[in-house]
Amino acid sequence: MLIKLKNKDTLIIDDFKFKCCIGKNGLNSNKKEGDNCTPKGRFKVGNIYYRPDKVIKPVTNLKIKKIKKNMLWCNDPYNKNYNKPIYINKKIKGEKIYRNDYKYDYFIVIEYNTKIIKPNKGSAIFIHLTRNYQKTAGCIAINKKDFLIMLKVINKNSKIII
C-alpha cells in the first residue's frame, strides 16, 4: 500500500484522501536537524507507538510498541542512539514521546534516516496526530479518526512518498 503526500495538505492512501499538515518550512530533499522541514523522498513505514494510558491498542498490521513514561526519541546527532527511541538519561538529548498533549498518543515512524543514520540529517520524523492542522517541526500530522482508518489500510510493507 502506497501513502502519497499529494500536496502540503493532502495525504492519499488508496481511495482515501486525508487532510494533513507538514513541516513549518515545507518539504526539503536535503533535510537537516532542526530545520522544521519534512524530508522529501520514498520511505518505509515503521512501527506504531501508542499511549496505553490514553488510547486503545490500535488495530493494525504494523508492529506495535507501547510508549512508557521514561521514553524519549534521541535527537542528539553526536550520540550513538541518534534517531532512535531511548530511555531518559541526563546525558542524552531527546524529544519527549510521553507527552501531556495528544499529538503522540499514536504515531508511526517514517523510516527516514533510520537504517544508515547520518548525524544532523534529521530525527523523529513521524506521522502523528493533529486537531488544528498547524504546521509541524517536520512530521506529517492527521486527525485521529483518519489516523485510525489509515492504520487499517496500511501494513509493514507500505511506503510513503513525500
Q: For residue range 35-88, what is the model confidence (pLDDT) as tens digits?
A: 999 999 999 999 999 999 999 999 999 999 999 999 999 999 999 999 999 998
**Domain layout of the chain by residue ranges:** 2-161
pLDDT single digits (tens) 5-45: 998 999 999 999 999 999 999 999 999 999 999 999 999 99
CB neighbour list of residue 115: distance below 8 Å, 6 or more residues apart: none
Distance CA 125, CA 12 (A): 18
- Class of residue 150 by CB neighbours under 10 A (exposed 0-12, middle 13-18, buried 19+): buried
For the chain, the C-alpha Rg in angstroms (whole number) is 15
Distance CA 59, CA 74 (A): 27
CA distances from 154 to 2, 14, 54, 123 (A): 8, 9, 23, 23
Domain 2-161 belongs to what topology?
Answer: L,D-transpeptidase catalytic domain-like (2.40.440)
Beta carbons of 61 and 155 less than 8 angstroms apart: yes
Can you give the pTM of this predicted structure? 0.96
